[in-house]
Amino acid sequence: KFVGRDHHPFAFTVWMAGGGIKGGLNFGATDEIGYYPAENPFSIRDLQATILHQLGLDPFKFGVIRSGLNSRLIGPTDEGKVRKEILG
């Protein structure tokens, strides 16, 4: 019925330090029961795009060859965004 190892797919915590990330920043919030994002939702694709950007790579061009195809780490669509709000 569920995919994965029962991880909560809607809201989770990520701790980032260095690499041009603003220090001491809390970004986003969940609803009152901690289930869904309520403020500043941040997708995995956004996280990947932001990290690649900070590494000096263009997240919209950088990819890996998988099964003979060039696959972008942020996925085939442009849904991932570099989230400059968290950058110092």
The secondary structure of 61-84 as a DSSP string is: T-EEEETTEEEETT-SSS-----G
Q: Which domain holds residue 56?
A: 43-86
Q: Quick check: is 47 in a domain?
A: yes
- Across residues 43-59, what is the average pLDDT? 94
Q: Quick check: is 56 in a domain?
A: yes
Q: Quick check: is 33 in a domain?
A: no
pLDDT in tens, 6-42: 677 788 888 999 999 999 999 999 999 999 999 999 9
Q: Quick check: is 4 in a domain?
A: no
pLDDT at 4 over 70: no
Q: What is the pTM of this model?
A: 0.81
Q: Quick check: is 36 in a domain?
A: no
Q: Is 61 exposed, middle or buried (0-12, 13-18, 19+ CB in 10 A)?
A: exposed
- Across residues 58-78, what is the average pLDDT? 87
Higher per-residue pLDDT: 67 or 56: 56
Q: Quick check: is 23 in a domain?
A: no
Count of the separate structural domains present in the chain = 1
Q: Quick check: is 24 in a domain?
A: no
- Please, what's the largest Cα pairwise distance for the chain? 45
Pairing of strands 37-39, 29-30: antiparallel
